[in-house]
């Protein structure tokens, strides 16, 4: 499994070939609490880095998911429709949100690796 890269908005992307698998970080799911609903983009949608791509709703709040990279949606995790709790159980595995064909792989360089993200979390209040 290739390495996760994180955004400051707590999304991750994991590269598989030229496809990026996107979800929210384990930290994000634990902050949100029980996820009850996920609104996913449509296959074929074009997303831009930093733009709104999905919505994750928990018992506490509804939060936008911002695209960590630009590209075109090629798959979405339909299993979340009936089982949104997959995000709580395994946000970086079975709880992925969508797969995106990267428009600009260089964007990955601006994201944090695991160690940098853990350091970033320590700076948060």
Nearer to other proteins, 33 or 110 (CB): 33
- Parallel, antiparallel or unpaired: strands 98-102 and 19-24: antiparallel
Q: Which x/- pattern, by CB under 8 A, does the window 48-77 give for other proteins?
A: ---------x---xx-x-------------
User: Rounded to the nearest whole angstrom, what is the least distance from the CB of residue 31 to other proteins in the complex?
Assistant: 16
C-alpha closest to that of 49 among 91, 7, 93, 17: 7
Spatial distance between the Cα atoms of 56 and 75, rounded to a whole number of angstroms: 17
Nearer to other proteins, 64 or 89 (CB): 64
Listed in sequence order, the residues at least 6 apart from 100 whose beta carbon sits closer than 8 Å to its beta carbon are 13, 19, 20, 22, 47, 67, 69, 71, 72, 73, 74
Nearer to other proteins, 16 or 64 (CB): 64
Nearer to other proteins, 42 or 122 (CB): 42
Spatial distance between the Cα atoms of 95 and 85, rounded to a whole number of angstroms: 8
Residue 37 found at the interface with other proteins (CB under 8 A): yes
Residue ranges that bind other proteins, judged by CB under 8 A: 37, 39, 42, 57, 61-62, 64
């Amino acid at each position: 499994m290739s390495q996760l890269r994180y955004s400051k908005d707590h999304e991750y992307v994991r590269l598989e070939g030229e496809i990026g698998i996107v979800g929210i970080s384990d930290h994000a799911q634990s902050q949100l609490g029980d996820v009850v609903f996920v609104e996913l983009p449509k296959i074929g949608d074009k997303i831009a880095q930093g733009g709104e791509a999905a919505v994750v709703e928990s018992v506490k709040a509804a939060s936008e998911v911002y695209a960590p990279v630009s590209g075109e949606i090629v798959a979405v995790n339909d299993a979340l429709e009936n089982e949104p709790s997959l995000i709580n159980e395994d946000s970086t595995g079975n709880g992925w949100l969508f797969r995106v064909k990267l428009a600009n792989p260089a964007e990955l360089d601006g994201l944090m690796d695991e160690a940098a993200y853990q350091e970033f979390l320590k700076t948060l209040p």
